[in-house]
Copies of this chain bind each other. A is one copy, B any other.
């Protein structure tokens, strides 16, 4: 076989420098997760299909990667029944599949596949909490940094395998959790040197309140989608779209303040209090937001900006309280680099009721692109080997190896060129690898127990003792 090998679409190989940069981001996230008291768990890459199916809607089900049962199941009449009518049900690419056929397909699929790759970290976490509820001390603050898989159509910035970095608290309705999650976002972005990330916050109860005020709960999505376009199409454009969607003139009058929804968070909260005066739920949302924003402001943030965004809806049917989304600094056109919120019934799907959860997620791939674009990765992140010992032959190599052991013990990345190749070739190797120093040891160095170190960028060289060598390279 001599085909040119490749990888499946939507997946990626990561080179050493890419891995190093990804690890740099993940380390910062992990560090802050831990100082905030979150503890790591890991769940299997694949779950039983019934754990995942039906949790992400019809579209989600379709995007879950299913694993074929192992063994020769297909031939075994006792294990798998071929639908009698399967061949008849099949269609050409151009024909569409009807509901009945889809049910038949799903039935068949569930017979040949009982496991599926995890689609996110939230459902496996809910499963974990229910399964291990007797070992867990609540409130349980867990973090999880693992890959997930989605059979989405790959496109720029969207992959079929990608990491999620999630922190969730389960078993506490305290709003201090929301306060801390805002701080957690800020701490990570501040550590990464990212200035001006906008942590947007909203509350599902405010959205419900708006729905009450406009007199149509079912129009809420149309309303927020339209309102979100205010920047692009202006007030008249937004109103036109709203009217088209069946929102009444009267409703638009009531929510007029949302069309000029600027100012400080406090000013926005004031406007919302007036606007939602007739909605008990809406006012509860305002109160919650006020608690979170007041305390965050009082405690202070690093380099990030907190903002209140009433158009923020993210998976409207999922969140029940706070909703978070983080935008990259405005000089980078990247959109959301994180999101999350509170969901009152995380574990209900697995039979454990009344377990409120709140959590956030960091978008590793997008944070990577933002740091790359703003040139925020420190040079040291991708620094591989610090020093290459030139190989003049086995006697010299042995002398070098003894020193290399000491350097490595001091945490210095050190290598011996493996062969006594021509000097030019060895130096070229150091150059191509970006190794900043070489050490040369011949008879003279061996007899005087010294090491000739050369700085490859300045050309400077000097002979030093082993101790001095360690100091110099540390």
Q: Mark A1-18, 1 if CB is under 8 A from B, else 0.
A: 111111110011111100
Q: Counting chain B CB atoms within 10 Å of each CB, which of A3, A37, A407 scores highest? A: A37
Q: How far is the CA of A344 from the CA of B67 in the complex (A)?
A: 34
Cβ-closest chain B residue relative to A421: B174
Q: Which of B14, B39, B109, B299 contacts A42 (CB 8 A)?
A: B14
The interface residues of chain B lying within 8 Å CB-to-CB of A72 are 97, 102, 105
> When A19-B41, A89-B75, A349-B1 are in contact, do A7 and B47 touch as well, CB less than 8 Å?
yes
The interface residues of chain B lying within 8 Å CB-to-CB of A13 are 41-44, 128, 131-132
- Which chain A residues in 123-155 approach chain B with CB under 8 Å? 127-128, 130-132, 135, 137, 139, 141-142, 147, 149, 151
Q: Which of B37, B135, B402, B429 contacts A299 (CB 8 A)?
A: B402
The interface residues of chain B lying within 8 Å CB-to-CB of A114 are 8
- Which chain A residues in 61-102 approach chain B with CB under 8 Å? 62-63, 65-68, 70-72, 74-79, 82, 86-87, 89-93, 97, 101-102
> When A5-B51, A183-B405, A384-B37 are in contact, do A44 and B11 touch as well, CB less than 8 Å?
yes
Q: Which of B11, B50, B90, B415 contacts A82 (CB 8 A)?
A: B90
The interface residues of chain B lying within 8 Å CB-to-CB of A130 are 4-5
Cβ-closest chain B residue relative to A63: B70
Copies of this chain assembled into the complex? 2
Q: How far is the CA of A178 from the CA of B6 in the complex (A)?
A: 30
> When A13-B131, A67-B117 are in contact, do A408 and B76 touch as well, CB less than 8 Å?
no
The interface residues of chain B lying within 8 Å CB-to-CB of A139 are 418
Give min CB distance, A68 to chain B, whole Å.
4
The interface residues of chain B lying within 8 Å CB-to-CB of A169 are 418
Question: A419 within 8 Å of B by Cβ?
Answer: yes
> When A44-B7, A90-B82 are in contact, do A67 and B66 touch as well, CB less than 8 Å?
yes
On whether the beta carbons of B75 and A70 are closer than 8 Å, the reply is: no
- Which chain A residues in 26-73 approach chain B with CB under 8 Å? 31-32, 34-37, 39-48, 50-51, 54, 62-63, 65-68, 70-72
The interface residues of chain B lying within 8 Å CB-to-CB of A402 are 298-299
Question: A411 within 8 Å of B by Cβ?
Answer: yes
Question: A20 within 8 Å of B by Cβ?
Answer: yes
Question: A450 within 8 Å of B by Cβ?
Answer: no
On whether the beta carbons of A65 and B65 are closer than 8 Å, the reply is: no
Q: How far is the CA of A138 from the CA of B119 in the complex (A)?
A: 38
On whether the beta carbons of A92 and B67 are closer than 8 Å, the reply is: no
> When A131-B6, A418-B177 are in contact, do A16 and B44 touch as well, CB less than 8 Å?
no
On whether the beta carbons of A36 and B408 are closer than 8 Å, the reply is: yes
On whether the beta carbons of B65 and A176 are closer than 8 Å, the reply is: no
Question: A342 within 8 Å of B by Cβ?
Answer: no
The interface residues of chain B lying within 8 Å CB-to-CB of A14 are 40-43
On whether the beta carbons of B70 and A67 are closer than 8 Å, the reply is: no
The interface residues of chain B lying within 8 Å CB-to-CB of A34 are 413
- Can you list 10 pairs linking A and B with CB atoms under 8 Å apart? A5-B48, A11-B45, A13-B132, A74-B90, A76-B92, A82-B90, A174-B419, A177-B418, A298-B402, A299-B398
